[in-house]
Each structure stands twice: as C-alpha cells, then as structure tokens.
Amino acid sequence: MEKIKCECGHINHEGTVLCEACGKPIQGNQHIDGNDDRKLLDMRYDGSARRSKTYKRTLVDKVWAWFSSVKVGVWLIVVALIASAVGTIYPQEPHIQSPLPAEVYYKDEYGMAGQIYYQLGFHNLYSSWWYITLIALIGISLIICSIDRVVPLHRALKNQSPKRHEVFIRRQRLFSESTSATSEDQNRMVENLKKKRYKITSENGHIMAEKNRFSRWGPYVNHIGLIIILLAAILRMFPFFYSEGYVWVREGETKIIPSTQQEYYIENKEFIYETYDRNDERFQEALENEEFDVPSNFQTNAVVYKVKGDTIAGQEPELEPVSEGEIRLNQPLTFDGYSIFQAGSQIQSEYASIELELSDAEGNAIKEFEYDTGEAPQKIDLGDGYQMEVEEWYPQFTITDEGASSDSKYPRNPGIIFNLSGPENEDGERFFYLEQEVLPLSEGGVYDVSYSDSELITASGLSVKKDRTLWMFGLGAAIFLIGVSQGLYWHHRRIWIQPKEKGILLAAHTNKNWHGIKQDIEQSIEKTKINMTEDQQELKE
C-alpha cells in the first residue's frame, strides 16, 4: 500500500486528500473529492482516504464500491419497502382461512389480480428467497457503507492537531484575518469559547476549539440499529426464533395447537360475545344511528394442556394443564414463550346437536331423541325397540351436478337421511332432515318425525405466535433512535485560531447549523479586535 508523507512529517494512507495531521491538500489527490478549481476545501471525512474512492482495480474493489454507495443502499431500501407494501395487499398464505389450496384461493377470492399476486410469489413474500436476499443485501450495504466511512473518519478525528497548514485555514468556509488582533484578544476569545463548553487544545500557540465531536458518530449508530433490526428479520425465518399458526376451536372442543410440534393442546371452555348496551346512557348517543348491535367483547375462556411423557402413534396423549385464562382482543394468553390471540369467531354458526320428536301417524308423541353432530353416529338405539340408522350425513349440505354433497366437514347446514324402525314397522321408514324440517321419503308410513330443538355453538379463531426476536427489534429501534438524536440535536463544531506575525487567522467548520457556529464566534470575539468571520461560500455566490 502506497504511503504519502506530508511536509509536516505525518504518514498518510494512499488516497488521502487532506493531510490527516495538518490538513494541507495533497497534490494529485484533489480530484478524488472534486476539489479541483474550488476555493473551499471539501471537508467530507476531513479528506481522509476511503477505500471505495481509492481502489477500483479488482472485482472486490468494484463490489466494495457498489455496496458502499449511499444511492445503492437507498434504492435497495426503496425496493424492499415497495415489495413489503405489495405483500400486504392480500393476506399471506399462512393467514388465509379457507380449505382451498393457495393456487385456487387467490384466484377465486380476488380474481385475476389474486392470480397474478399468487404467481408472482407475493402470497409467501416474507419467507421467499428473493425477499430475504433483498434484506440481506441491505444489511451488507449498511455494513460496508459504515466501514468505508467510519474508519477514515476515526483516523481523521484521532490525528487532527490544533496546528493546521495555512492553506487549510484559508480555504475553510468561515474565515477571517485580523492584523490588529493581539494575544490578549486571542486569550479572551479562548476563555469565551470555554464558557460555551468548547474543548480547547493548543500546540505552539495554535488553538483548536472543538465541541460535540460525538455527534459525528450518529449516522453510524443508526446503521448499527438498522443492522440489528435486519438481522432480527432474517432470524424470523427459523422456527426456533419465530413460529405462528391459526386454529379454529369450537366450544367444548380440544385441539392441537399448531406450530408447537404437537406438544400443546387447547380446550375452548366457552366463547363470550358481548355488545354495548343501548340502554346505557354512556353509549346511547353513539349507538342511536347504529342499526345492528355493536360488539364490545370477543372472549375465549381456554385451558392449555401439555402432552405428558412420550406418546406412541395412534395413542391418546396424556395431558396436563399448564395455563388457563381468558383470551380477548389484544390480551393474549401466554405460556412457555407462546402467545395465543383472539383473531376470529363464527358465532353460533354450527349445530352441536339436533333434537327430534318421533310420533305415530295420528300425532301421538312416542319419543324424543337427540342427534350429536360432533360424533355423527351411524346408529342410535332409542329404546323400546326403536332405532335410528343414518344412511347419509352431510355436515354442510349442498346440491351439485353429481347430486347431494357437503362443502365442509363442519355442521353449518346439516342434512341427514335416516331410516327409523320400531315395533310398528321393523323395516323402517326413511326421512330427510334439512334446515329444521323433516321430510318423509317413504309412502304410507306409520311414523312421523319432526324437528324439536337444536343447540348452536361458536367456533373461536385463535392465532398462535412465538417470537424470540422481539427484543432484537426493540434494541435495534432504541439504538436507531439514539443515533437519530445524536446526529440531529448536536453538531460537531471546530474553530481554529492561528497566530501570525501580525494578527491572527480565524477559521471554523461545522457539519451542520452554520448559523449556530456563527453566533458562537460572534459572541466569543466581543470586546476584541478579532474580525468576524466571513462566509466564503456566500461571497462566492
């Protein structure tokens, strides 16, 4: 690696634009920061050598330069944001509540747009290889971009000395020359700068006043926060760090909790649905224009069980309760790192049981019996020689081109074709139950069956999540905000005072808020013969 020795004796790295010690422009390197024919020095990274600007010969150099570009990083973020937004237009595949496969669901539900959405892979966007690759590229860009700038900045700030080359002083944006100023004036100004919390360093009478150097690290603290957030997003691909599932559980039912490797079960003890009371004075005004009742609470009272010991395939597992509680919107039930959220409901949408009444042809009641839709038995012994035998069972009855069928295994519109036999007719008579009506299918029968009552149940939709990356998102966000505050609310200000044979030279630089540093200088030179600095950029304009 080529080294460049300045006339001050400092050894600079190849590609250095301004000497890291005295600030003298290094001839032959001014084109790197575009300093040719410019009056003011470009103070980016104080002219220290950046790898991306220095080496462009090998493939590694070109890749490094590409990733270190801020424009590249911004475009990668913009593409990721657009893709993320598109991914929210329709639900992701794990969240669709339909028995239909994804390739059919999106087309049926959303038409041509849904089909395109599916074929382009947006239905599983956040776990797709190209989206994860995009996130990884942003992370790589942030890391390289940070290293490319932090190293030279650290080197420049570490090596800077109060004694600067005169060319460096004269080509700063804020500059003044005072031929009548004395050492007393210089001392008075230094004392005033100390009162403004400037840190003073000196070398052979040359003074540098500096304040808020730490603010220069703000953007890179931001990068650290963003890198932690991106790392957390990538880790969510692995089940150990993140898993989620969705399960419908009916009242009284116990089901395996998805995404728990069949280790946990949940029992829906009761579902509670409440609405706002129209007679309550607090809600009357808000509800007076509402046609329907407004829900105030969706709640599932549940018990979570854990499988005890090892279970052989086909064997009923032994369960032991590990948690019990109420699940409401935004009030999950938590256990062993998992959280169960109330995410859906099908209120009294399914038949738990149907009560029927058997009577003779004259209408005299013989028996009442109940058909349990959950068990859906093939035969029911009614006693005294009466028997119900189910010929066809349709949980959700529908008619297709091929005849009677069922759209679902859940009893939302049950249809039953059954044969009822008894002492009066041992061969039995056929009946058809549908929509709380019982129709006879046999002619000249001696029995009559009618609908008596039914019990409806509610199914509760529960979302199950385990997320071990939340703390990383929180930590990344906190570090990002610290970096934002560090860079926005503090400004790195430097003032150089260089004694001359007659008078002094005064120069200043800040990374932002030039008005603020002008005020500091103006107040510090009060009652002295030091001239106020001129803004050479404004003079040029």
DSSP track, 246-286: EEEEETT-EEEPTTSTT-EEEEEEEEEEEE--TTSHHHHHH
Tell me the pLDDT band of 50, cut-offs 50, 70 and 90: confident
- What is the mean predicted confidence (pLDDT) over 217-222? 92
Query: Which CA distances in Å does 522 have to 50, 106, 221, 315, 510?
Result: 35, 68, 33, 86, 15
Give residue 481's identity as a one-letter amino acid code. Answer: L
| Inter-residue contact 343 to 462 (CB < 8 Å) | yes
**Residue 196 or residue 407, greater confidence:** 196
d(CA 269, CA 10): 79
Quick one: angle between helices 129-159 and 59-68, nearest 10?
90
Mean pLDDT rounded to a whole number for the chain:
88
Q: 396-399 — which CB contacts under 8 Å span 24+ positions?
A: 397/434
Give residue 330's identity as a one-letter amino acid code. Answer: N
| Domain assignments of the chain as residue spans, ordered by start | 59-146, 242-347+461-468, 353-456
Q: Is 205 helix (H, G, I), strand (E, B) or coil?
A: coil
d(CA 238, CA 34): 47
Q: What percent of the chain has pLDDT over 90?
A: 48
pLDDT in tens, 117-171: 999 989 988 888 889 899 999 999 999 999 999 998 888 888 888 899 998 999 9
pLDDT in tens, 285-327: 888 888 888 989 999 999 999 998 877 766 788 899 999 999 9
| Inter-residue contact 259 to 474 (CB < 8 Å) | no
Tell me the pLDDT band of 88, cut-offs 50, 70 and 90: very high
Q: Which residues contact 295 (CB under 8 A, 6 or more apart)?
A: 273, 274, 275, 276
Token code pair at residue 413? 């519109």
Q: Are strands 333-335 and 415-422 parallel, antiparallel or unpaired?
A: unpaired
Residue 38 pLDDT greater than 70, yes or no: no
Residue 415 pLDDT greater than 80, yes or no: yes
pLDDT value, residue 195 = 94
d(CA 465, CA 492): 45
* Pick from 368, 364, 351, 327: nearest CA to 460: 327
* Pick from 460, 527, 56: nearest CA to 269: 460
pLDDT value, residue 37 = 60
- What is the mean predicted confidence (pLDDT) over 345-363? 87
Q: 433-440 — which CB contacts under 8 Å span 24+ positions?
A: 433/354, 433/356, 434/397, 438/356
